[in-house]
Chain A
Amino acid sequence: MRKKFIYDNIQVGEELGRKEILITDEMIRTCANAIESAHPWYFEDSPFGGRIAPPTIFDNDTLSILDENYERFGSIHAKQAWEFKNPARLGKKVTLSVHVVDKYVKRERNYIIMELVAVDEDGVEICRGKHTSLMSLKKG
């Protein structure tokens, strides 16, 4: 059962979840289309040997993994940090894990920081993303 997405329920250090995904042609095309990119490395070949995915391809997974654990009515994306370390290659399985790395109150508003780490089937770290969310949106 999912917990309510409220500040006191969130524990710093908590693992929100992990999942394994396969980088597919459809994923790459859908992501590239959503950000209006026709970069040839996504559709033809790249200097890394073969097609790769847009670096931000995992940008939805932090919240999707959060939502498996918490009942959330929207939230405001306040900050985003990325470190890109290696390409996400077509056909590779990638394990994504998300942890809560901090939470804080600023101007009476509650924020949490979640970190996503993506590692491929060869143990190569692809990227790290830190997503800061303002937690409170009112529901009518």
Chain B
Amino acid sequence: MNKAHRDMEIGLEIEFRSYEITQEKINVYSRYVFHGKDTKNIHTDDETAKRAGLPRALAQGRYPIGYISEVMLEFFGEGWIRGGKMDVALVKGIFPGDTITVKGKITEKIQEGDATRLILDVWLENQAGEKATAGTASGIVNAGAKKPCR
């Protein structure tokens, strides 16, 4: 994966990583939420989801947001842990069987002392090319993090 550096050009688009969404992964996340317990909820059970007015069980919104954070951690490194920001809207449900890809585009650079904040549009795109989650993310690139020498 590309690592963030201050010489990256505005407008650069990056396809970070794809994830397969399965019911089992959603169930694993649900067990994580409910401290190891199996529960019937709108994410794990189609009938419960339908009673709530949803077409079927869907992924928890915060679960794929975790994917964005992990990708940004790999991209920014320490500048995500200390200085990372994310603001996203969940615009379309993510369902078992979907393949979602974390994508981004560098839109702005801001100087913060000796460091540079890189701001990206980020989104989760499904296999149909639709944005399921979209917004912005930014992190800190330190002064020393220049483009790698060839």
Contacts and interface: CB of A to CB of B under 8 A. Distances in A.
B67 to A, nearest CB: 6
B52 A34 contact: no
Contact of B51 (A36, A82, A86, A138): A138
Given A84-B82, A139-B51, A30 B90 contact: no
Contacts of B25: 36
Nearest to B20: A36
Interface string A28-70: 0011011111010000000110001011100110000000000
Contacts of A77: 60-62, 90
Interface in A88-137: 137
Contact of B19 (A31, A33, A36, A79): A36
A80 B53 contact: no
Interface in B27-82: 28-29, 32-33, 41-42, 50-53, 60-63, 65-67, 69-70, 73-74, 77-78, 80-82
A78 B61 CA distance: 8
Contacts of A1: none
Contact of A39 (B73, B83, B84): B73
A56 B87 CA distance: 13
A48 B63 contact: no
B52 A137 contact: yes
A74 B70 CA distance: 26
A82 B52 contact: no
Contact of A60 (B33, B53, B82): B33
A80 B62 contact: yes
A84 B81 contact: yes
B89 interface: yes
Contacts of A39: 70, 73-74
Q: Closest 3 A-B residue pairs measured CB to CB?
A: A77-B61, A140-B51, A35-B66
Interface of A: 30-31, 33-37, 39, 47-48, 52, 54-56, 59-60, 73-74, 76-87, 137-140
23 contacts: A35-B69, A35-B70, A37-B70, A39-B73, A47-B77, A54-B66, A55-B69, A59-B65, A73-B52, A74-B41, A76-B61, A76-B90, A77-B60, A77-B90, A78-B61, A80-B62, A80-B87, A80-B90, A83-B85, A85-B83, A137-B52, A138-B52, A140-B51
